[in-house]
Amino acid sequence: MQQRWMSRTLHCFRHGRLVQLNRYNTSNFSSPRRLLNVHLRSFHCSEPRWQDDSAPLRKELKDAAKAARKAAAAVPPESPDILPDWELTVGIEIHAQLNAARKLFSTADTYPASEPNSHISAFDIALPGSLPVFQPAVVLPALRAAIALQCTILTKSTFDRKHYFYHDQPAGYQITQYYTPFAVQGHVVLTSEDGLEDGREVVVNIKQVQLEQDTARSQEEDSSTTLIDFNRCGQALIEIISLPELHSPREAAAYVRKVQSMLYAVDAVTTGMEQGGLRADVNVSVRRRDVLDGGFSYAGISGLGQRTEIKNLSTFKGIEDAIKAERDRQISLIESGGVVEGETRGWSITKPHETRRLRGKEGEIDYRYMPDADIPPLYIGTDLIGYVRRTLPPLPTDLTKMLVDDYGLSPTDARTLVLLDDGERLIYFQRVVAELASLAAHSVPQAELGKTAANWVLHELGSLFSSDERPWSSKVVPFDAMAEIVHRLREKQITGASAKLILKLVFNGDRRPVSQIVRQEELAFSEMSADEYDTIAREIVEKFPQHVKDIVEKGKTGKLQFLMGQMMRHPRRGDMRAPDVEKALRQVIFQGKP
| Average of per-residue pLDDT values in the chain | 83
- Residue numbers of the domain that contains 584: 530-590
- Number of Cβ atoms within 10 Å of the Cβ of 248: 19
Task: Please report, as a single letter, which amino acid is at residue 370.
Answer: M
Which position has the higher pLDDT, 561 or 90? 90
Residue 352 has a pLDDT of 63
Instruction: Looking at the structure, tell me whether residues 504 and 541 fall in a common domain.
Output: no
What does the alpha-carbon distance between residue 355 and residue 321 come to, in Å, rounded to a whole number?
A: 10
Instruction: Looking at the structure, tell me whether residues 512 and 573 fall in a common domain.
Output: no
Contact of 104 with 236, CB cutoff 8 Å: yes
Convert the pLDDT of each residue in 20-42 to its tens digit.
Answer: 333 333 333 333 333 333 332 33
Instruction: Looking at the structure, tell me whether residues 445 and 316 fall in a common domain.
Output: no
Q: Which of 321, 353, 382 is the last residue of a domain?
A: 382
Residue 431 has a pLDDT of 95
Q: How far is CA 394 from CA 209, 263, 460, 462, 556, in A?
A: 20, 11, 27, 24, 52
Q: Which pLDDT band holds residue 364 (cuts at 50, 70, 90)?
A: low
36 in a structural domain? no
Residue 497 has a pLDDT of 84
What does the alpha-carbon distance between residue 351 and residue 321 come to, in Å, rounded to a whole number?
A: 11
Q: What is the mean pLDDT of residues 338-350?
A: 86
Which position has the higher pLDDT, 594 or 284? 284
Which position has the higher pLDDT, 143 or 590? 143
Convert the pLDDT of each residue in 129-176 to its tens digit.
Answer: 999 999 999 999 999 999 999 999 999 999 999 998 888 888 999 999
Residue 64 has a pLDDT of 67
Instruction: Looking at the structure, tell me whether residues 90 and 231 fall in a common domain.
Output: yes
At residue 265's C-alpha, the angle toward residues 261 and 269, to 5°, is 80
- Global confidence as pTM: 0.70
Q: What is the mean pLDDT of residues 188-199?
A: 88
Conformation bin of residue 335: beta by default, left when phi > 0, alpha when psi is -120 to 50: alpha
Instruction: Looking at the structure, tell me whether residues 543 and 507 fall in a common domain.
Output: no
What does the alpha-carbon distance between residue 188 and residue 150 come to, in Å, rounded to a whole number?
A: 8
Residue in 285, 282, 272, 191 with CA at minimum distance from that of residue 242: 282
What does the alpha-carbon distance between residue 314 and residue 14 come to, in Å, rounded to a whole number?
A: 26
What does the alpha-carbon distance between residue 424 and residue 431 come to, in Å, rounded to a whole number?
A: 11
Q: Which residues on adjacent β-strands are paired with residue 356?
A: 346
What is the tally of structural domains in the chain? 3
Which position has the higher pLDDT, 25 or 242? 242
Residue in 151, 237, 153, 140 with CA at minimum distance from that of residue 188: 151
Instruction: Looking at the structure, tell me whether residues 475 and 371 fall in a common domain.
Output: no
Whether the predicted pLDDT of 534 surpasses 60 = yes
Instruction: Looking at the structure, tell me whether residues 571 and 447 fall in a common domain.
Output: no
Q: What is the mean pLDDT of residues 30-55?
A: 37
Q: Which of 348, 382, 416 is the last residue of a domain?
A: 382
Q: Which pLDDT band holds residue 77 (cuts at 50, 70, 90)?
A: low
Residue 362 has a pLDDT of 65
Residue 30 has a pLDDT of 37
Q: Which pLDDT band holds residue 320 (cuts at 50, 70, 90)?
A: very high
Whether the predicted pLDDT of 49 surpasses 70 = no
Contact of 230 with 120, CB cutoff 8 Å: yes
Residue 102 has a pLDDT of 92
Residue 95 has a pLDDT of 95
Instruction: Looking at the structure, tell me whether residues 402 and 373 fall in a common domain.
Output: no
DSSP 339: -
43 in a structural domain? no
Do the strands 236-242 and 152-153 form a parallel or antiparallel pair, or are they unpaired?
unpaired
Residue 560 has a pLDDT of 87
DSSP 457: I
505 in a structural domain? yes
Conformation bin of residue 376: beta by default, left when phi > 0, alpha when psi is -120 to 50: beta
Contact of 311 with 346, CB cutoff 8 Å: yes
Q: Which residues on adjacent β-strands are paired with residue 296?
A: 304
Q: Which of 499, 520, 541 is the last residue of a domain?
A: 520
16 in a structural domain? no
The C-alpha torsion from 159 through 163 and 165 to 170, rounded to 10°, is 30
End-to-end CA distance of the chain: 108
Residue 550 has a pLDDT of 85
Instruction: Looking at the structure, tell me whether residues 484 and 569 fall in a common domain.
Output: no
DSSP calls for 346-413: EEETTEEEEEEEEEEPPPGGGGT-EE-TTSPPEE--HHHHHHHHHTPPPPHHHHHHHHHHHH---HHH
80 in a structural domain? no
Instruction: Looking at the structure, tell me whether residues 98 and 223 fall in a common domain.
Output: yes
Q: Which residues contact 150 (CB under 8 A, 6 or more apart)?
A: 186, 187, 188, 206
294 in a structural domain? yes
Residue 522 has a pLDDT of 82
Q: Which pLDDT band holds residue 66 (cuts at 50, 70, 90)?
A: low
Residue 432 has a pLDDT of 96
238 in a structural domain? yes
Of 72-76, 254-258, 359-363, 535-539, the range with the lowest mean pLDDT is: 72-76
Percentage of the chain surpassing pLDDT 70? 83
Contact of 257 with 316, CB cutoff 8 Å: yes
Instruction: Looking at the structure, tell me whether residues 498 and 541 fall in a common domain.
Output: no
Contact of 126 with 171, CB cutoff 8 Å: yes
Q: Which pLDDT band holds residue 178 (cuts at 50, 70, 90)?
A: very high
What does the alpha-carbon distance between residue 300 and residue 306 come to, in Å, rounded to a whole number?
A: 15
Residue 476 has a pLDDT of 95
Instruction: Looking at the structure, tell me whether residues 110 and 225 fall in a common domain.
Output: yes
Strand-by-strand arrangement of the 370-371 sheet: 173-176, 160-163, 370-371
Convert the pLDDT of each residue in 456-511 to its tens digit.
Answer: 999 999 999 999 989 999 999 999 999 999 999 998 888 888 899 999 999 999 99
Q: Which pLDDT band holds residue 574 (cuts at 50, 70, 90)?
A: low
The C-alpha torsion from 60 through 64 and 69 to 74, rounded to 10°, is 130
Q: Which residues contact 477 (CB under 8 A, 6 or more apart)?
A: 461, 503, 506, 507
Residue 314 has a pLDDT of 87
138 in a structural domain? yes
Length of the chain equals: 594
Residue 76, φ and ψ in degrees, nearest 5: -75, 160
Convert the pLDDT of each residue in 93-118 to its tens digit.
Answer: 999 999 999 999 999 988 877 788 88
Residue 331 has a pLDDT of 94
